[in-house]
Amino acid sequence: MIRRDTNTHPKNRAVGYVRRSTDRQEQSIPDQKEALEKYAVEHGLRLAKFYVDDAISGTSTLGRRAFVQMIDDAQGPKRRFDVIVVYDVKRFGRVDNDEAGYYRHILRANGVEVRYASENFNGDTTDDLLRPVKQWQARQESKDLSKVTIRGLLSKSDTGCWMGGVPPHGYDLRYENCEGEFLLILRYMPDGSKEVLDENGKAVRTLARGESLSISKRDYAKLTLSEPERVKVIKNIFKMYADQGKGYRSVADTLNRQSIPTPRGPKWSHIYSGKWTDTTIRAILFNPIYVGDMVWNRRRDGRFHRISHGQAVDRENVHGARLVPNQKEDWIVVRDAHPPLISRRLFEQIRQRLESHSNSIEQRQRFSRANTHGRTWNGQRSRFILSGLMKCSLCGSRYQGVTKAKGKKRLDGTRVKTFYYGCGGYITKGRSVCEMNAIPQKVLEETVIKVVLDSYRPLLGKGGRTKLAEAVKAQIGSEAEEFVAARKRSQRELNKISKTINNLLDNITSTNREFVDRRLGELKQQKHQLEARLEELDRLSLSRDEINSMVSDSMKFLAGLEFVLREGLPQEKLVALRQCVEKTSVDKPAGTITLAIYLVPVGNLQASRESTASV
């Protein structure tokens, strides 16, 4: 709002505006205040207050709350100042001339003058010439510094060191000096404070929210495993999603019910509730940090520059959104830079599931193994634990739960209910598709549970662990042979393309440059595709430790399977069955069901065997 200035007060009422960009400029704020107070005395101004933006960049007005409040106060009907004093053009803001001019115009139209304590302006028309030049210089200094900073970060990015910011949940920062000697471990707490730990993990100091450590530029930090409780939380998140089939919300709800502390709480910032959310779970599942790789430049945050193909290039829209995802080819990845929390195979399987299941179960109207995607199966639906696992062998439709009420109403107004499974083709489309072929719920569920338990019972007896390990290795072995063959083919193609590129570069001339440039572009695209394929094959391979872990997890799962299927809650039974059963075919006229049961219930290995039973 711009209004006509009708203020009749003397024009010596002033406020000061001070700003520093980082909390390392410790004396900047006091020094600025002292300079502004001296200027006010020398020029007969009464300095009423200071507007302070501390540790905030001046390249934009976004986030500069004190500056925005000052502009609002200048336009208010009860404005108590006529002059704003700043130290220099840079403190007012390292914005471009258009943005700076916009705010100066608003202030001037409301009767407020901006003065600069250290710029030595003359107070005449020459100021209109000098001020834009100094404003451009202030802006250009930030742009130049931005490029220099990115170059420094690029030189550091291939070392696998932590590039800055809060580490992912489950990791702490281990600081070492340039000679590799231990300095400290830094752990971020949910309230925004930071604990300084010694090499044994004992807390020696606590830094309050906003307080930072004085670290030499020659020192560096790498990710290290955090306390066991946090590591366990991250592993459980991946396990709940991959093995138990829970979706983002279901995982978050489970953690909240268990009162698991979140990475950031309300004391960190007012925007955090202290509850796990689906967006937090999704961010964890998508983060390649957890397989041991240091990944940087996944998003661009710089105002002036972005990183493309390992170089700093100008951003197209400096006034647009700051935080924008980068293309995967611009990511900077250092493999095996720190201890992993999950296997590459598990991460790749989750990534494929995340990318291929964008819609909800209700929209897809289908189910897959361990795939409930956030449905908590509460209420009536949780009664039918086989829903989505069975198909009618006659028409191919899904078998689904059916509730029937029969007889007269009882004294309380209710009727006796019976529960069945029936052919969905009949239920939705009638006899033109199929018959009802109903089977009592209890009969069908008890039959399926018995077949599943009998199928896995030999693994719980003597030598069971060895049998299970052989089953795992048999599947992994066949996959490994395919991976090795595929990797050799891809590597041969990659070597061939690299050789062709080198030959083209060696024989480029002014006459064939256009053809060579076009051909190089095609070859580089093929090279990127092959490199991505090789990375994917590496991710899918399993190490010996991962195989042993899969066997141990399977044995633990099988040891508690009978109790869960006999005594567990419907939701627990549902999740457990989806880890064991791939599909079930129901042939009611023949009185049989055929189950495809996974050989290994943990690890998302797809091999199964068929078992038939009578109903």
Beta strands in 347-427 (DSSP E): 390-392, 399-406, 416-423
In this structure, the dihedral spanned by the alpha carbons of residues 58, 62, 67 and 70, taken in order and rounded to 10 degrees, is 160
**242 compared with 74, residue with greater pLDDT:** 74
The tokens 């520093």 sit on which residue?
20
First to last CA, the chain: 79
Residue-wise pLDDT tens digits, 230-274: 999 999 999 888 877 788 888 999 999 999 999 998 888 888 888
Q: What is the pLDDT of residue 484?
A: 64
pLDDT of residue 314: 73
Confidence of residue 320 (pLDDT cuts 50, 70, 90): low
pLDDT, tens digit, 9 for 90 and up, residues 393-416: 999 999 999 888 877 777 777 778
Q: What Å distances lie between residue 124 and 5, 10, 120, 131, 304, CA to CA?
A: 22, 21, 11, 11, 33
Query: What is the per-residue pLDDT for 446?
Result: 94
Q: How far apart are CA 155 and CA 339, in angstroms?
A: 23
Q: Who wins on pLDDT, 527 or 368?
A: 527
Smallest CA-to-CA distance from 86 within 21, 33, 13, 137 is with 33
Highest mean pLDDT among 236-245, 576-585, 598-607: 576-585
Closest CA to 599 of 513, 508, 473, 507: 473
- Mean pLDDT, rounded, for 510-535: 79
Strand segments (E) across 358-516: 390-392, 399-406, 416-423, 439-440
pTM to 2 decimal places:
0.58
Query: How many Å is the Cα radius of gyration of the chain?
Result: 33
Residue among 71, 56, 65 nearest 21 (CA): 56
Any idea which fold 13-119 has? Rossmann fold (3.40.50)
pLDDT in the model for residue 26: 47
Distance CA 555, CA 464 (A): 9
For the ranges 145-149, 264-268, 597-601, the lowest mean pLDDT is seen at 145-149
Across the range 150-176, mean pLDDT stands at: 85
Tokens of 529: 């595709």
Token reading at 579? 């880890």
What's the pLDDT at 426?
A: 92
Please state the rounded mean pLDDT for residues 500-517. 82
Q: Please list, residue by residue across 220-247, b when 16 or more beta carbons sit within 10 angstroms of its beta carbon and e when fewer do.
A: bbbbbbbeeebbebbebbbbbbbbbbbb
Higher-pLDDT residue of 524 and 131 is: 131
pLDDT band per the 50, 70, 90 thresholds, residue 437: very high
Q: How confident is the model at residue 321 (pLDDT cuts 50, 70, 90)?
A: low
Q: What angle do CA 297, 299, 304 make, to 5 degrees?
A: 90
Specify the range with the lowest mean pLDDT, choosing from 166-180, 296-310, 376-390, 523-537.
376-390
Is residue 375 pLDDT above 50, yes or no? no
CA–CA distance, 391 with 385 (Å, rounded to integer): 14
Edge-to-edge strands of the sheet including 203-207? 203-207, 194-197, 182-188, 171-176, 220-225
Mean pLDDT of the chain: 82
CA nearest to 86, candidates 15, 139, 20: 15
Residue 543: CB atoms within 10 A of its CB come to 11
Q: Assign 101 a pLDDT band (cuts: 50, 70, 90).
A: very high
Highest mean pLDDT: which range of 43-47, 52-56, 468-472: 43-47
The answer on pLDDT for 208 being more than 80 is yes
Domain extents in the chain: 13-119, 171-348, 464-543
Q: Smallest Cα–Cα separation from 474: which of 610, 342, 605?
A: 605
